[in-house]
Structure 1
Amino acid sequence: MPHQEIYAHFHPDERAFVDRAWEWVERAAERHETKRTDFLDPRQAHILFALANRHPDAAVRLDGGSADAERQRALIAPDYRPLEDEDMGIAVLEIASGDRRVSELDHGDYLGALLGLGIKRDKIGDLHVRPDGCHALIAEEIGDFLVGHMKQAHRVDVSVSVLPLSALKEVRPQLEEQTISVASLRLDGIASDAFRLSRTKIVDPIRAGRCRVNWKTEEDPSTPLRAGDIVSMKGFGRFKVMEIEGVSKSGRTRVRIGKFV
């Protein structure tokens, strides 16, 4: 178990993951074991790296199947073991359909179909959605199960097959950009404009722990945002602070944001 001072750097909700990650690091450094994780979100990856940096005898490699992958699997091993050529156990699940309605499906439809089969979110990496279907990065060990069981995505009949990583058709996230004018750079002020909610309606979800800034739970509505920050709110979506453009003559701050679509 990590020393108590380590916990001070993380949110209480993250304590269970900190415990697991520290165990992986200790086993690699002290017992010479190698651990391949499921897919981690960027916050979990940050925690794992922070913990590994505290132990000089452990090394970590991250890979999500593409250069800009958001969700990645990790290899934790003794520092003397080369990790570059280790198999990360990632495959591409091709989801296709002859139904014209497939072009209407979005990220949530495909993810919901996968989770609806009882698959844990940790087994699924990034999803690359195209008008004719989707390439989902998955832990290779669930490929056969999905081929045998996934028949629909949001009431659209689909066929699935497992492909090697080299076949991935990567789709970069699209951002719907807009410039907003805010009194300050507070989280609640920018989020209320981004999600088109009143300030009073945005505060309660933040205080209830439904908001994350850079994948870390943020419960303080007054937290200032900076360029590059990514804010997600359960039930509403997420946006990125693209640029702080300056202050108007009236004293309000112009902020360019990009909503993930």
Structure 2
Amino acid sequence: MANDNIYVHFHPDEHRFVDQATEWIGRAEQHAVKLTDFLDPRQAFILNSLANAHPDVHVRFEGGHEGAERRRAIVAPDYRVLEDEDAGIRVIAVSSPDDSLAELDHGDYMGAILGLGMKRDKIGDIYPRPDGCHIVVAAESADYLSLQLSQVHRVHVRTEILTAERLQPTETRLEEQQLSVASLRLDGIASDVYRLSRAKVLVPIKAGRCKVNWKQEEDPSKPLKEGDVVSMKGFGRFTLLEVEGLSKKGRHRIRIGKYV
């Protein structure tokens, strides 16, 4: 299938990744094996969708544990046993001699990592805990990150490289809120969650800084449904947990979970 026909199924900003994924699949058909960087769930969906159209190619995703959000992919010819392939994943265990790590969150660790010049594509999920943090990282970047990461926010830290089998994932924490909204439109719900006026929330949406289920969404009127995950650059992300029904005044009662 020609790429210009494939493109109609994807957002224009996704076309570059579609090209990459198509190239990986094409190489697998020529008996090559590709280990990708970490993919978000939308990228994994695109790669898997394209690979499913090629019966002589298969894909394995690995992010350190079964519930991982960001995962590397191994794209290979169908005769390769992918369970025997090394997914190239290590874990950076972050610790500190005092109790100050309890104050740090996901954003603090991510800011420190990116501040070292690390590419986001080399980092998987990050699991902060009160006594430290486990950071999933590409094996080829583990030594650099372990050597360079000495401070997170204002806290001095020490690191250790672990195998993926020693990963201790933490459960995602959601701060639940109950809201009453006029409609299930993206802009209406996002304005309440982020406590922005409707006019102000339109700016990042129309600027392409909002994603619904990891797919860029520029239509503020898009209706949300239960299970949708919304992220807005600079404001965090939330999931629509439940649409509970209509109030006597015809407003939608919803329950959302904001990632903390």
Superposition TM-score, scaled by structure 2 size: 0.97
> 1:24 deviation in Å?
0.1
Pair 1:16-2:16 in alignment = yes
Q: Distance in 1 between matches of 2:2 and 2:112?
A: 37
**Structure 2 matches for 1:24-103, cutoff 5 A?**
24-29=24-29, 31-103=30-102
Measured in 2, the distance between the counterparts of 1:77 and 1:2 equals 21
Q: Count residues in correspondence.
A: 260
- Segment of structure 1 superposing worse, 241-250 or 146-155: 146-155
Overall identity of the aligned pairs, in %: 62
- The Cα shift of 1:61 comes to 0.7
Corresponding residue SS for 1:39: coil
Aligned pair 1:154/2:153, yes or no?
Answer: yes
The residue aligned with 2:225 is 226
Query: Is the CA contact 2:181–2:252 (under 8 Å) kept in the aligned structure 1?
Result: yes
| Larger displacement relative to structure 2 (146-155 or 19-28) | 146-155
Counterpart amino acid of 2:157? V
> Residue 247 of structure 1 corresponds to which residue in structure 2?
246
Q: SS in structure 1 opposite 2:190?
A: helix
Deviates more, 1:41-50 or 1:82-91: 82-91
User: What residue identity is the alignment partner of 1:87?
Assistant: D
Listed as ranges, the gaps of 5+ residues in structure 1 are none
Letter paired with 1:185:
L
Q: Structure 1 residues 24, 2: CA separation in 2 closer, same or farther (over 3 Å shift)?
A: farther
8 Å CA contact retained: 1:2, 1:22: no
Contact 1:99 1:156 in 2 (8 A): no
After superposition, what is the alpha-carbon deviation per residue over 1:38-58, rounded to whole angstroms, capped at 9, x for unaligned?
A: 100111101101111122211
Alpha-carbon separation, structure 2, partners of 1:229 and 1:192: 16
Q: Distance in 2 between matches of 1:118 and 1:178?
A: 36
Provide the C-alpha distance between the structure 2 equivalents of 1:165 and 1:113, rounded to a whole number of angstroms: 22
Alpha-carbon contact 1:2-1:19 (below 8 Å) kept: no
Instruction: Tell me the equivalent position of 1:189.
Output: 188
CA RMSD for the aligned pairs?
1.2
Structure 2: how far apart are the matches of 1:57 and 1:166?
30
TM-score, scaled to structure 1: 0.97
Opposite residue 4 of structure 1, the aligned amino acid is D
